[in-house]
Chain A
Amino acid sequence: MAIGLEQHVEQKSRRILGIKARSRPRSLAQREELYAYLFLTPWIIGFVLFTAGPMIAVFGISLFRTNFLTETYYVGSKWWRAVFTDMLVRKALLNTLYYVAVSVPGGTCLAMTIAILLNQGMKAQSVWRTIYFLPSLVSGVAVSVLWQWLYHPDIGLFNDLLDKIGIVGPQWIWSSEWAMPSIIAMSLWGAGGAMLIYLAGLRGIPTVLYEAAEIDGAGTWRRFWHVTIPMLTPTIFFNVVMNLIGSWQVFTQAFVMTEGGPNNATLTMVLHIYRTGFQSTFFGYASAQAGLLFLVILIFILTSLRSTSFWVHYERV
């Protein structure tokens, strides 16, 4: 049987190098698989060293009392028991849950609304799209400083506008009651990133579905509920999951604007982990808290994944 040039070269090289001939030559699929692994290897190495590795290490470190400098000794499950009884951890978890519970649905609705409005075929759509997307590109610290000015009780824009309609504005981030809502409101400013994904999702809905619905007599609202939303559910699911993961790790705004105050009203889990580790050097305890946060996020994600069978509709070809 005639063999290809590649196989001929391979066999000749093996003879020269004294390598035992393969019992059978690699198929094209096998070679492609090998190349795939080779190309993936750099990323896998980076992932193992800088992401998966540290994640696993955190669980190991959480079994020790260590400041990484002068003391390291085994304490077993002490820190893991402590995270469930520590009132400050509980406070941080509840604060973060509050943030997630409002910002994720709020951000999802806002991003979807903007995307739907932008999908109406208006003029200068690309300009509007850019305007809505730009805030999500600005760094977290710059955004925090900017919003600190907006929230200024005397000269800030918000209280100034409220003052014009006769309402005395709150102290915003300088008030225990308003600090977290202020930070949540700020997070909605970055809805532009999700908006782009929703826009792509909307563009992917086949128009024949809308035409069929229209023929069947469905009005705008019914078309929205029975065509747009179901077809958009995969995109919604993706954005919700990404938003969940990001929201549970909120840090910059609390760190820059409020330092977790007033009176721990904006103390988030990641901020508490940072303080416990880098400021108090209880790295073992900080690792246990990080492990707890990981488990909480994991539970949320798994629950979301489990729920997909009830509400996410994947288009079948």
Chain B
Amino acid sequence: MSKDLSRREFLRWSMVGSAALVLASCAPKPTPTPPPKVEEKVVEKEAEPTKAEEKVQLRYQSRHGGGPVGKRLWAAFFEYFYDKNPNVEVEWLVRPEGDQAENILSQMVAGDGPDVYQLCCWQTTFFIQQGQALNLQPYINRDAEEVDIDDFYSQQFVPWILNGDIHFMPYYTGTMVLYYNKDMFDEVGVDYLPSEWGELSFDEYRETCAKFVVREKPLRWGTSNYGQGANWLTQYWLRGFGANMVDPNDPDASLLCKPEALECLEHIRQMIHEEKSFAQGAEMGGVGVHQFFNNKSIAMMEMGSWGLSECLTGAAHVEAIEAPGTDWLDFVWDLAPMWTGAGGKMTHQSVDGQGVWSQTPHPEESWQLCKEVASAEFEMLNITVGDGMQPSRKSVMPFYVDALRKQWPILEEVHLEVMAEAMTQDIPGPEEMFNNDKLCKDQILKPAFDLVFLENKAPVELICEHSKVVAKFNKGEIGVEDIGGELAKIRV
């Protein structure tokens, strides 16, 4: 007599079967074999196939949203890209919802990463450090004339060099300069800022900031930026004092204990909490530095060239064509170079670029795409039909300045040249990256910066003590699980 399956047995067998499936699927993937060294292959361009169905399909993960500017730019780009590379077809992907780096990481873990991907800032170094960026150096060496490395700002590639080889190519760059409200300067009776690099000292900058401070509502400060902390915004200040957050010779270690670094950090702390001339943290209350500049809460703003669009239109990106032509700000403003300290001239050059996925089945075609996006032709397109971001090539900068002035006559009175001069003078530098950068900055350094810069509850020496834990972790003396314990031991 057949025995019918009871409910309990059905559930039991279902769970057993499911658990077996899951355990089988979560067996660890064997460590993937690294891609073959490019040097072992003859790095020659492959012959173009003659049949349409042999076209190589690539996926390019862009940082652009799905708006008209991005679509227009890339449509124009792919028109000439396909002329040069008829054997390639590119699926252009708009920026995904949510965190782009997480999205790309998930795709790579699934073995389905985009062939070429564009990222910013610490995310670029993250993927390089995770071994997911193809070594581009052999391709750069082979196509040296076309790539023309010397046309870029000299330190552009510093965050993208691993074992001496370049792993990313620039998309655009943004030079950090001082935006200042000339009307407020007139009101207070302060001379305008000099327009040459090296003419404004740190002491002069600090004194100027103090002149704008108003402590009765509506409050007013001298200057601000996105927020000083364990990030690139403090790094360029440190460089101005001849210090660094990351040891340039050893990305495992920090130089925040150097006297110059501590001096710089102390200046920042005093400007925020004692002089109240640098707007930061609670007093900004989540309001952006642009809004503060726009509504005249600050007289100066440390901002990159990407901030031009907000000053001109209130929008995130300049529309190079069909712009509304409004004078967004109701005051006269100008640009000036960053201040110069004991460490010499300094600025920040943004770190935006694209890389090739190390596991791509089409490294040559992906390199062609990557190279073309870093070309002068693409940067000219970006100026004329794109979002008007500052080019990373020195040769294109004059066209950039002219194009902006042609579109926005108001910019005739603005010293846009300061951005170009920073590049031609190779004024440092790019964002400094640790090994395990995000962990070091967020988990180890940030708590100290919060206590010092945000709450003013600890001396700057606390930051030095936290920076020692960075080196301990990166050099393997402690594990990730020991970081909390090490930080808890610190007494200043």
Contacts and interface: CB of A to CB of B under 8 A. Distances in A.
Interface of A: 22-23, 30, 33, 37, 44, 48, 52-53, 56-57, 60-61, 64, 66-74, 79, 82-83, 85-91, 148-149, 151-156, 171-172, 174-176, 257, 259, 261-264, 275-276, 278-282, 285
A86 B454 contact: no
Nearest to A91: B484
Given A69-B130, A174-B282, 14 more contacts: A48-B22, A52-B18, A57-B26, A60-B26, A69-B108, A71-B31, A72-B28, A72-B30, A87-B487, A153-B285, A171-B455, A280-B436, A280-B443, A285-B480
A261 B443 contact: no
Contacts of A73: 28, 31
Contact of A90 (B281, B447, B484, B487): B484
A86 B481 contact: yes
A33 B22 contact: no
B447 A263 contact: yes
A154 B282 CA distance: 9
B455 A176 contact: yes
A82 B479 contact: yes
Nearest to A149: B286
| Secondary structure call for the B interface | helix
B450 interface: yes
B32 interface: yes
Nearest to B23: A60
Given A261-B446, A263-B451, A282 B480 contact: yes
Contacts of B488: 87
Contacts of B1: 23
B10 A88 contact: no
Given A91-B484, A276-B480, A262 B451 contact: yes
A152 B481 contact: no
A261 B457 CA distance: 14
Interface string B429-460: 00000001011001100110011001101000
B22 A285 contact: no
A57 B18 CA distance: 11
A151 B436 CA distance: 34
A159 B97 CA distance: 34
The CB with the most chain A CB atoms within 10 A, among B108, B217, B447, is that of B447
Given A280-B438, A285-B480, A174 B285 contact: yes
Q: Which 7 A-B pairs have the closest CB atoms?
A: A87-B484, A88-B484, A152-B285, A174-B282, A82-B481, A262-B450, A57-B26
B342 interface: no
A33 B7 contact: yes
29 contacts: A23-B2, A30-B4, A52-B18, A56-B22, A57-B25, A60-B26, A69-B108, A72-B31, A79-B481, A82-B481, A87-B485, A87-B488, A88-B443, A152-B287, A153-B282, A154-B217, A154-B219, A155-B285, A174-B454, A175-B282, A176-B457, A257-B286, A259-B442, A261-B446, A261-B454, A262-B454, A275-B439, A279-B438, A280-B436
B132 interface: yes
A63 to B, nearest CB: 9
B165 interface: no
B105 A278 contact: yes
B281 to A, nearest CB: 5
Contacts of B132: 69
Interface of B: 1-2, 4, 7, 10, 14, 18-19, 21-23, 25-26, 28-32, 99, 102, 105, 108-109, 130-132, 217, 219, 281-283, 285-287, 436, 438-439, 442-443, 446-447, 450-451, 454-455, 457, 479-485, 487-488
Nearest to A92: B484
Nearest to B109: A68
Contacts of B438: 279-280
A264 B454 CA distance: 13
Contacts of A87: 484-485, 487-488
Contact of B131 (A69, A74, A85, A154): A69
A261 B31 CA distance: 36
Given A148-B286, A153-B283, A275-B443, A262 B455 contact: yes
A189 B120 CA distance: 36
Contacts of B439: 275, 279-280
Nearest to A264: B447
A116 to B, nearest CB: 36
A178 B283 CA distance: 15
Contacts of B26: 56-57, 60-61
A306 B19 CA distance: 28
A99 to B, nearest CB: 19
Nearest to A79: B481
A153 B443 CA distance: 26
Nearest to A22: B2
Contact of A261 (B285, B286, B436, B447): B447
A156 B283 CA distance: 11
Contacts of A152: 285-287
Contacts of A282: 480
Contacts of B108: 69
A260 to B, nearest CB: 8
A73 B29 CA distance: 10
B451 A280 contact: no
Nearest to B2: A23
Contacts of A261: 446-447, 450, 454
Given A30-B4, A57-B22, A279-B439, A174 B281 contact: yes
Contacts of B22: 48, 52-53, 56-57
Contacts of A264: 447
B399 to A, nearest CB: 39
Contacts of B29: 68, 72
A300 to B, nearest CB: 24
A283 B399 CA distance: 47
Given A70-B130, A149-B286, A261-B447, A53 B18 contact: yes
A148 B285 contact: yes
Contacts of B281: 174
A67 B108 CA distance: 11
Contacts of B10: 37
A53 B20 CA distance: 10
A178 B439 CA distance: 25
A175 B480 contact: no
Nearest to B485: A87
A174 B272 CA distance: 14
A154 B455 contact: no
A67 B454 CA distance: 33
Given A30-B4, A90-B484, A261-B450, A175 B455 contact: yes
B485 A156 contact: no
B446 A70 contact: no
The CB with the most chain A CB atoms within 10 A, among B4, B286, B481, is that of B481
B173 to A, nearest CB: 25
Given A57-B26, A85-B485, A151 B285 contact: yes
A83 B283 CA distance: 37
